[in-house]
Amino acid sequence: MSDSLRDRVLAEALADIPKSGFSDAMLAAAAERAGVGKRELQDAFPKGAASLVEAFSDWADRRMTEIMAKGAPEQRLRDKVASAVRTRIEVVAPHKEAARKEFLDLCAMAEREDKR
């Protein structure tokens, strides 16, 4: 599974997530627009829409890390943490509704796990 393939599908999905949330049908449509076949899709997103939620979070974390690596090194831990939080928020800000739905889906997944 490559991040670039997951990122291509995610890029196609980001416009649909605010309207339809994270769903298997939306994931399949985004994969089709990205030119990703069914086998590749299954390999890259083995848990379907739940894997897309993970891909969005992974993408945002990678962007945050890239941006922070270019910045000035900060001495105090609290400054590093504050900078990381600000940067993560800035990364997902253009996709605010997708981030909101991601949070809700992550909470729902955690709740389902707790009930097992």
Contact of 68 with 84, CB cutoff 8 Å: yes
CB atoms under 10 Å from CB of 43, counted, come to: 13
**Is it the case that residue 109 has pLDDT exceeding 90?**
no
Q: Which residue has the higher pLDDT, 114 or 100?
A: 100
In this predicted structure, what is the pLDDT of residue 35? 96
In this predicted structure, what is the pLDDT of residue 1? 54
In this predicted structure, what is the pLDDT of residue 28? 96
- What is the end-to-end Cα distance of the chain in Å, rounded? 28
Q: What six digits make up the tokens of 63?
A: 């962007």
Contact of 58 with 3, CB cutoff 8 Å: yes
Q: How far is CA 44 from CA 16, 51, 74, 109, in A?
A: 19, 8, 36, 19
pLDDT per residue over 52-84, tens digit each? 999 999 999 999 999 999 877 777 889 889 999
CB atoms under 10 Å from CB of 50, counted, come to: 18
pLDDT per residue over 7-25, tens digit each? 999 999 999 999 988 999 9
- 59: three-class secondary structure by DSSP: helix
Contact of 109 with 102, CB cutoff 8 Å: no
In this predicted structure, what is the pLDDT of residue 63? 96
Mean pLDDT of 75-95: 92
Structure confidence at residue 110 as a pLDDT band (50, 70, 90): confident
